[in-house]
């Protein structure tokens, strides 16, 4: 009798497995790209309503206001988009698909890394759309600065997405806790970052909190990048904040998914 030949089970490989998870997460977006565009509704509303108010109050031209306000809208896209991605993981845990991936012959860390890297694609696509919408109104940005800005936003988004997934794992079975924490953090971070309104004239305590808010650093940095001021110290601080947040998010997220059951 001939012994049956057993197919060897592939050994976990973080890079390969993260790519497989990334492709798996991108498939729904490829099948239904409208979801990425539809999520731009809120940023477009902010752009369409806040920009005229800022022009009326400041007396500046449309292009000048957009040069200040549009970078904040790009940060807002990352903040709102990646901040809620943990809800997708909660949905998978609710119906058991997440548990099935945990027993797959892949590196468990890749389940977090691949998901987090997936956030880069919507960030880039949505940023291109927002800038494209603003161009007919006189907005202009440095091409090199915009490319570097996309890298900054991508790194920032990976960190926020990882933390969102970690929060979803920590609140498994308690969806309301996830949304309570998420909403309690997102809006203070947004307001205290100078995305919507300048904080120069704000109370001292507000400016003090904004000074340690990483979202504020990223916002200030991307404004400098899009204006072509690539050598500004704000750019260095922005990348430092984004890289630190990405490292923290990946460490916390990987640890959480390794402990997941």
Does 110 score more than 90 pLDDT? no
Angle at alpha carbon of residue 236, lines to 139 and 198, rounded to 5°: 50
Reported confidence tier of residue 1, pLDDT bands at 50, 70, 90: very low
What digits encode the pLDDT tens for the residues 8-28? 556 677 888 889 888 888 888
What does the buried/exposed string (b/e) look like for 215-235 if buried means 16 or more CB atoms within 10 Å of the residue's CB? bbbbbbbbbbbbbeeeebebb
- Is the whole-model pTM more than 0.85? yes
Q: Which range is least confidently modeled, 29-33, 176-180, 209-213, 246-250?
A: 29-33
Tell me the CA distances in angstroms from 98 to 52, 92, 103, one per residue in order: 45, 5, 9
């Amino acid at each position: 009798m001939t012994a049956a030949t057993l197919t060897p089970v592939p050994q976990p490989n973080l890079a390969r497995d993260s790519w497989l998870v990334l492709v798996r997460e991108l498939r729904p977006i490829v099948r239904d790209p409208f979801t990425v565009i539809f999520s731009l509704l809120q940023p477009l509303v902010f752009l369409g309503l806040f920009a005229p108010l800022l022009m009326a109050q400041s007396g500046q031209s449309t292009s000048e206001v957009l040069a200040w306000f549009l970078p904040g809208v790009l940060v807002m896209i990352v903040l709102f988009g990646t901040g809620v991605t943990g809800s997708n993981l909660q949905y998978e845990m609710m119906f058991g698909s997440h548990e099935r991936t945990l027993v797959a012959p892949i590196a468990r860390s890749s389940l977090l890394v691949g998901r987090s890297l997936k956030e880069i694609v919507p960030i880039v696509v949505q940023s291109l759309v927002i800038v494209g919408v603003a161009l007919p109104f006189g907005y202009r940005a440095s091409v090199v600065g915009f490319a570097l800005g996309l890298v900054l936003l991508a790194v920032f988004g990976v960190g926020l997405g990882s933390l969102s997934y970690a929060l979803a794992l920590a609140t498994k079975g308690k969806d309301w806790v996830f949304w309570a924490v998420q909403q309690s953090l997102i809006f203070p971070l947004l307001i205290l970052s100078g995305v919507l309104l300048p904080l120069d004239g704000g109370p001292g305590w507000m400016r003090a909190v904004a000074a340690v808010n990483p979202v504020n650093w990223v916002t200030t940095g991307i404004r400098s990048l899009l204006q072509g001021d690539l050598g500004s110290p704000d750019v260095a601080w922005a990348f430092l904040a984004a890289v630190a947040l990405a490292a923290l998010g990946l460490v916390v997220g990987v640890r959480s998914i390794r402990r997941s059951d």
